[in-house]
Amino acid sequence: MKLIIGNKNYSSWSLRAWIAARAGGFTFEEIRIPLFIPGSRERILSHSPSGKVPCLIDHGLAVWDSLAIGEYLAEKTPQLLPQDAAARATARAVTAEMHSGFQNLRSKMPMNIRKDYAGHGHTPEVDADIARITAIWKDCRSGAGGVGGDYLFGGFSLADAAFAPVCFRFRTYGVKPEGTAGEYLATMLANPWMKEWETAALAETESIPSEDLYG
């Protein structure tokens, strides 16, 4: 298996697929293509028909888009989704909500692990996105009671992978949810795969000026 990803500091979609693959226990070769430099588009297109990362290659099959990659991995490793059918449906719903929504948060608080932009990026629309995300985390954690584990549905699932970049965003922009949502954020930031990604992001030297919104 090969996983094509972008810069670890910036590429939130790449993190979702990468951490799902790690959580599923897959062995994979990582091909990192720094984004938005001469030649990067051609390099991505040589693997990914959409011209975007992430893209998973498994025995010649290309699976692009982080949502499709997560589902593909979960077919091979069912523990990437909750065992209970109702919890599984909710996990898919919140994952899809993250995948298709929260445009205000995405545009004003892009993932940028190396920066400290505490206090930047807030607008009423961004704050509404933050409120919805923390409500999701709280609801999922209260429903996970009794299952065991500190993640949204107990054990680490595709839903946690979907929100992984938001956790880095919250730290960068100084968003500090209270109560259960804050505990969940701390769990995610202490997760060993998150730490591994963060260490690699900090070691990167490329900058994408259009993503460094606040200096």
Ligand X SMILES: N[C@@H](CCC(=O)N[C@@H](CS)C(=O)NCC(=O)O)C(=O)O
Q: Which is nearer to ligand X, 54 or 82 (CB)?
A: 54
Residues 14-33 that bind ligand X (CB under 6 A): 14
Q: Is 12 in the site for ligand X (CB under 6 A)?
A: yes
**What's the token pair of residue 131?**
């409120």
Q: Which is nearer to ligand X, 23 or 35 (CB)?
A: 35
Q: Which is nearer to ligand X, 45 or 203 (CB)?
A: 45
C-beta of residue 201 within 8 angstroms of C-beta of residue 34: no
In angstroms, what is the minimal distance from the CB of 111 to ligand X? 8
Q: Which is nearer to ligand X, 21 or 67 (CB)?
A: 67
Residue 90 identity: T
In angstroms, what is the minimal distance from the CB of 110 to ligand X? 9
Give the Cα separation of 188 and 167 in Å (integer).
Answer: 7
C-beta of residue 104 within 8 angstroms of C-beta of residue 122: no
Residues 140-169 that bind ligand X (CB under 6 A): none
Give the Cα separation of 109 and 170 in Å (integer).
Answer: 8
* Piece in contact with ligand X (CB under 6 A), picked from 7-15, 79-87, 177-185, 188-196: 7-15
In angstroms, what is the minimal distance from the CB of 172 to ligand X? 16
Applying CB under 6 A, which of residues 20, 35, 80, 140 lies at the interface with ligand X? 35
C-beta of residue 50 within 8 angstroms of C-beta of residue 6: no
**What's the token pair of residue 197?**
């990604």
Q: Is 126 in the site for ligand X (CB under 6 A)?
A: no
SS3 readout for 26-95: CCCEEEECCCCCCCHHHHHHCCCCCCCCCEEEECCEEEECHHHHHHHHHHHCHHHCCCCHHHHHHHHHHH
Q: Which is nearer to ligand X, 162 or 181 (CB)?
A: 162
- Judged by CB under 6 A, how many residues of this single chain contact ligand X? 14
Residues 59-118 that bind ligand X (CB under 6 A): 65-67
Residues 36-55 that bind ligand X (CB under 6 A): 41, 51-54
Sheet containing 61-64: order of strands: 29-32, 2-5, 55-58, 61-64
| Interacting residues toward ligand X by CB under 6 A | 6, 11-14, 35, 41, 51-54, 65-67
